[in-house]
Amino acid sequence: MLPTMADQGEAVIENRLSFRLNPGCLKRGDLVTFESPLAPGRLVCKRLLGLPGDIICVDPTGSKAPSSEHVVIPRGHIWLMGDNADLSRDSRDYGPVPLSLVRGTLWARVRLAQLPSITTHVRTGLSLQPRDHLPEPYSLPSPLGKSTAIPTLAQNSTSNLPDRLVQT
């Protein structure tokens, strides 16, 4: 589904419930998940171009069939096509897809980002990004006038601590 979806680094949320409760909820332009007619058990995602009864141009790009060839989508079937038409295996190859193979529609796409290294301040439990500043350590007044607070950071040695946090 390039360029709409990336090869990696994305997750999708699939809506199965709406299709199961109301198979007529499908609309042209929806991203549909279905079991591949060519490889049973393999989940595929394509864009819905035609509903039952529609007259569809088999290949508007003309790369797999003459652009003058048209087909009527039979009852209980839909016409699906990949967004990267030149490299996509879709209804132009295997014809109309039975609704019984449809699993649902894509509801949302989430891009997964590389997480930066996170340091946790053990005492406060705050997750700190490298650009964040550490909070000043909280110390209770001691009866002897000495501070009893011992600031510590996970995965850091005292040589990596800011000067204000190094206990002397």
pLDDT of residue 119: 47
DSSP 96-132: SEEGGGEEEEEEEEEE--PPPP-EEBTTT--EE-TTS
Scored b (16 or more CB within 10 A) or e, 95-112 reads: ebbebebbbbbbeeeeee
pLDDT of residue 72: 96
pLDDT along the chain (168 residues), means of 10: 65 86 91 92 92 92 85 96 88 94 88 56 47 47 49 45 50
pLDDT of residue 13: 84
pTM exceeds 0.85, yes or no: no
- Please count the other Cβ atoms lying within 10 Å of the Cβ belonging to residue 69: 13
DSSP 18-43: HHHH-GGG--TT-EEEEE-SSSTT-E
pLDDT of residue 34: 94
pLDDT of residue 95: 93
Give the whole-angstrom CA distance, residue 49 versus residue 31: 10
Q: Which domains does the chain carry?
A: 10-111 (2.10.109.10), 115-160 (no CATH)
**What SS3 class is residue 45?**
strand
pLDDT of residue 78: 96
pLDDT of residue 101: 95
Q: Which amino acid is at 65?
A: A
